[in-house]
Structure 1
Amino acid sequence: MWNLSGDSQAGGDLQLQQQQEEQREQELASSFWADVLQGGGTMMKHTTNSRGSALRILDEVLENSQRRHKNMVLAIQREMVDLHLPVVETTAGRHINQDLTNLRDQLQAELAQTRKEIREAQEKHDEETARYLKGIEQDFRLKLQTSEAENQELRLSLEEVYRKMEEKVVKALEQMNTETKAAIEAKEDELRDMESSTLYIAEEVRKAQRAAEQRADLQESERKKKEMQEMKAEYEKMLRDMKAEIAALKLNKEKKESTGKKVLSSLASGTASGLASGIASAVLPGKLSFFDNLMGSPFA
């Protein structure tokens, strides 16, 4: 069996088989599908002519697809974040720039060879050959200038991509801050309401206890007290959960803001002059999948 998806993506693979004997399933799991299953893949049994079985498998496929795309990190992001490579030194950048670089190197080598031949012809007082070679040299100079112009055009194109990326990061950060702030405020309002309810219940517990004691009905007093205490305990648990949720939201907001500042700082260091001299080493948000969804493609 050929593993076309690679080891890193094996967790999203789904192997289907019709209902078979347990022995056959074990053989498949230990031989043909072993690599995929060890990489986190899933083997499911399909019951022939069963609509429910087919739907369960389809649900698993869709969930796998969503999980994989949610956490997907582009190769160019990984190279720029983990390896701190400039854009032109990434795999994508090298691929784009390779043809122009090869042409430039070839022209420079041929130009150097032509100059050498001109010097040799001049030393031999071969004026006709020298004039011919100077014409070739001029031709190479023009071609080299054209190659450099194309390289400059490529740098400008990458600079435009870079600027669009910066705009998307800023917009994503603003949207994130607005949404997170609103969520925290809503939770804090809910927390205040619950705290008020808890205080009210505590007061009702005391009232019920005093009323029962005044009636000298100890059994009723204990029953009421127990009911109110249980209700109070439930509200207090809800309060603790709510506070923990708010704390988690605030911590998540702080982490995202910190990451966003680092991204913007890296982007800010990539000035136009830096790009022209080799493209700035911008740190992209490849380590946080949250940015993958927010930023999208810089070409959009």
Structure 2
Amino acid sequence: MTAKPSHPEDQDVLMTTAEDEGAAESKAESMALKSNEQLRDSLDFSEDAVVIALMGGTGAGKSTFISLLTDEDVGIGHNLQSCTTEVGVYNFNYKDRHTVYLLDTPGFDDTNRPDSEILQEIAFYLAALYAQKVTLAGIIYLHRITDTRVSGSSLRNLRILQNLCGADAFDRVVLATTMWSTLDSVEGGHEIGLQRCEELRHPEFWGEMVQKKSIMKEHDGSLASAFSIISELIDKEGDVVLNIQRQMVDQNLSLDETDAGRYLQKDLIEAREKYEQEIAELKKNIEQAIAEQDAEAIDIFQQEKEAAESKVETLQNNNNHLKVSLSQIATREQTNFRSRVSGLEDSLAATSDPAAEHRLKALEAQLLQVERELQESKAKNEQDISLQRMIHEQQVIANTQHVANLQETIASLEKSHRVIKEQYAQESRTKRQRKSLTNMLIFDKLLLLFNDGHHRRGRHFR
């Protein structure tokens, strides 16, 4: 309850304070809108840009796939994002028609993070991009052909993928098998791989998705193969709306109400019930051990009970990760994204070097020139050595000196080649690092715009 002012002047003070607060709030809102306009103006996200999400278990080859297409150091991208988010962003130019952004998503078999937290992160990215009208071309799901069977974690990744997409979007999913080269050392390896592909077509695995127009492809590890897989999605007309995007953005469902959330929640509830039954049994065992005055058994059962209770608590916390709406995530992440954008802009400014591209091209030209001179000198040297065997004795001394001079020239050129190659490699690394920073900045700006919008309109959402 608000206390009434005891004096008229106190009433005036309260009225003035309320007016000041209203003016401050209006000013803050105006500044936020202006800030967003500036942010939108600085957003270098081309109209021809499309996004493809990569999914699959840990070790399925996502990083290698991305490196082939983008010529980016995927390791650098992950290191830069390790303190923020596990989703990596990389890009490349597709046939001079599209800038393609690849989202490297974490697998649902991460021993360091619960699946519910990973789902929340992936769902947020996909929903926010959809809300910002960014074109999603589809999803590439990678699976190791070397796996002798579809493991529980692989099946879990697959089921979550199916629920994220929804059956209507299966035609925008490429199911790609990787690690085929590993089978080359095995007798009849390729035939074994083909047999496993047939097994993957069974209804309990990829069968339903293939029936609804998902595409199965072999990825042999080459750039041409990766490009072919990407083309299956980009060359299709239009974009795709995933189940998770429609449910969280259009229907305003919380994550636990979505199909993907319900699937994960079902698993969590089943696991929790299992541990609760175990706890009930252990309580009975403890009571019996107490009656029998068996101190050692009491201690063992008590430790097992505490371990089971800890697992129940963890499962409950994981379940709570799902009980969140898109606007709640946006509100929670708003400050983080603003800080991240500022940090990325500072990092780019610190590494800004307008002459870098010119220097890189100059080094590339030098490298080609030295390689050409080196090749010519080596060819000339071989000719002179062959000639030396044919000439008269009186010419041998002069030709020997000429050969020695050529070999000296070759040694000098080889040294120059090494130096220029190292400089070129360093400049290329710096360029790739700036590219990774730029990619992350573009996406963080997009997500920040989305977060700010939801933060201001939060009262209209759950």
The structure richer in helix per residue is: 1
Report the TM-score when normalising by structure 1: 0.31
Report the TM-score when normalising by structure 2: 0.21
Q: Which has the larger radius of gyration?
A: 1
Greater RCO (CA < 8 Å, at least 6 residues apart): 1
